[in-house]
Each structure stands twice: as structure tokens, then as C-alpha cells.
Amino acid sequence: MTRHLLERLLWMAVALLGVSVITFVIGDLLPGDPARVIAGPQASQAVVRSIRHQLGLDQAVYVQYWRFLGRAVRGDFGLSFRTQLEVLPTIWARFPYTVAVGVGGLLAEILVGVSLGIISAVRRGTVLDGIVICTALLGLSIPSFWLGLILLYVFGYLWPIVPLGGTSGWTWIILPSITLGFSGSAFYTRMTRTAMLETLSEDYVRTARAKGLPGRTIVLKHAFRNAIRTVVTMAGMDVGAFLGGVLVIEQVFGIPGIGALAWQAILNEDLPMIQGTVLFAASLIIVSNFAIDLMYGWIDPRIRTAS
């Protein structure tokens, strides 16, 4: 088990290194001159050259990357070209809003999607199963930005139950969570249904039925426990993706999260902020995948023994 953990930690480091290389190279290839962005359009060429020298942009690319990597390892992503504020503290200041949206959406999609998936699998071939499948297809088809705008219009304008955008009070999290959860729950419904149908056809489930165990015990304790790995995998991927910023949801509802910060950095050609948000999001995704591996061993002892 220790060897397995060390190998996973090593691959995490390799993955982060690869992301840093790709992020830096793409940033270097982007059109535009960061020194000109800082100096302004009216600045002279002498001022621009001076800024380029101060930033080290006149050095070789590999030297710039080495300096960038050394700072990133220490948690220093530099200063924003636009605001002249430190990148990492700025990201951390936006992080709580993204966490609120991500956790709310994740809970909504898991509770709704897993429940519907179990019901659909247990009631396979019935009218209820058909309704659940149609609802899942509807969730897959509706764009999240469209659903968010409709919810804002109905519950923020026609019936002002929640704020019309922004983050005032605590009710602002309701509509973003519902929007994010409705789209995501469709995937959980389909995957849970498929995993449950496969598990319910296993021999040990038929044996449990033959022993006369209650249906609820068979479904939840025996079948779902072995089908839950699919849910854990999807949830782990969603955690990393959501905490890295949910751009569409944050833009629709006016939430100052990491996704909105990254989009604004792209519009402003703010290279340090772009690199910082990408690396931050990538780190969350990689760490969440590592957590999934650990949870597999806890859920299924056979995996822990094999490791």
C-alpha cells in the first residue's frame, strides 16, 4: 500500500510538471506583449523594453520557465499585469465562492442523480423507469446557461424569491446549485442505473434474494455498495472541475469565483493570472483523482489488498 501511494504521489508531481510546461508554452505563444499591456498603448518603446527586462522577458524561454517553475513551487505565481496584486492571494479570495457553488451543485447532482438511477434500475422496464430516462435525457440536452437564465427570470424577476444575481445573503447559492445539479444529475442517473443493473444481475445478489433478505437491504447494502465506485469516480472528477471554477454558472449568476477570474484574465491578456488559475485548477483535479484512489481501497477491500 505504501508503495502504491508513493507511486501515485510521483505521478501527481509528473502531471503537475506537465501542466506547468503546457501552460507556460501556450502563454509564451499567445499573441501580444505583456510588457506593452503593463506599460499601456501610449508608452514609448524604451519604456516597454525596460519593463521587458525587469520581468525577464528578454531572456531565453527555458530560463523564463525555470524561474516560473521555481516561483510556482513556492506558491508565488507573480503579480497580475492589470491589478498589480499577487495572483495566488487573489485566487484564494475568490475560492470560497467557487467552493459554495461547487459543493452545492455536487450535492444536488449526487442526491438527485443517484436516487433516480437506483429507482430506475430497480423498476427497470416500468413506466417510472421510462420517466426517469426521459428526465435524464432532458437534463443532458438543456444547456446550463439557458436553464440558469430561465431560473433567474422566474425566481429572481417574476417571483423575486432569490437575488437576481450577485452573492448577497445566503439564498444566492440556491439557483446556481440547482442549475449545476440538474445538468450533472443526468450523468449520475445514467451511470448509476447502468452500474446497478450490472450489479443486480450478479450471483451474490441472487443468493441474497434466495435467502429471503429484504429488498431494501439487497439494493442498498449489497448492490449499491458495489456499484458506488462509479459514483465515486464521477464525484471525484466533478470536485476537481467544480473547485477549479465553473465559468458558465459564475458568468450567468454574476458570481466572483475562479472561473470568472480566469475569463477576465483572458480578456485582459493577464498572463500571470491565466497561468495561476490554470495551475490552481489542475492541482485540484489531480488531488481529487488521488483522493479517489484512496477511497477505492476503503470502499472495496479487495483493491486495498491488491495494492
pLDDT tens digits along 166-194? 777 778 888 888 888 887 888 888 888 88
Please, what is the end-to-end C-alpha distance for the chain in angstroms? 5
Q: How confident is the model at residue 298 (pLDDT cuts 50, 70, 90)?
A: low
- Owner of C-alpha cell 501552460: 23
- Whether residue 134 is predicted with pLDDT greater than 80 in this model: the reply is yes
Residues 202 and 289 in one domain: yes
Q: How far apart are CA 226 and CA 207, in angstroms?
A: 15
Range of the domain at 292: 87-306
- Choose one of 15, 49, 73: the last residue of a domain: 73
Residues 163 and 35 in one domain: no
- Report pLDDT digits (tens) over 37-83: 777 777 777 887 887 777 777 777 778 888 888 888 888 888 887 78
Percent of the chain at pLDDT above 90?
Answer: 1
Cα angle 211, 216, 217 (rounded to 5 degrees) comes to 50
Query: Between residues 2 and 287, which one has the greater pLDDT?
Result: 287
C-alpha pair distances (Å), 210 with each of 57, 123, 151, 206, 215 = 73, 19, 48, 6, 11
Residues 207 and 287 in one domain: yes
Residues 222 and 278 in one domain: yes
- Choose one of 39, 73, 107: the last residue of a domain: 73
| pTM, rounded to two decimals | 0.76
Does 97 map to a domain?
yes
Neighbours of 241 (CB within 10 A): 17
Residues 170 and 284 in one domain: yes
Q: Decide if 4 contacts 297 (C-beta within 8 A).
A: no
Residues 125 and 16 in one domain: no
**Residue 303's pLDDT is what?**
53
Q: How far apart are CA 137 and CA 187, in angstroms?
A: 9
**Residue 245's pLDDT is what?**
60
Does 292 map to a domain?
yes
Q: How confident is the model at residue 301 (pLDDT cuts 50, 70, 90)?
A: low
Residues 153 and 42 in one domain: no
Residues 184 and 284 in one domain: yes
Q: How far apart are CA 255 and CA 201, in angstroms?
A: 45
C-alpha dihedral sign at 103, 109, 115, 117 = negative
- Report pLDDT digits (tens) over 211-228: 777 777 777 776 777 777
Q: Decide if 235 contacts 185 (C-beta within 8 A).
A: no
192 DSSP 8-state letter: H
Residues 101 and 55 in one domain: no
In the chain, how many domains are there? 2
Residues 289 and 140 in one domain: yes
Residues 18 and 163 in one domain: no
Does 6 map to a domain?
yes
Which residues fall within 8 angstroms of residue 292, CB to CB, at 6 or more apart?
232, 233, 236, 237
- Report pLDDT digits (tens) over 242-296: 776 678 888 888 888 888 888 888 888 788 888 888 888 888 888 877 777 777 6
Q: How far apart are CA 133 and CA 252, in angstroms?
A: 28
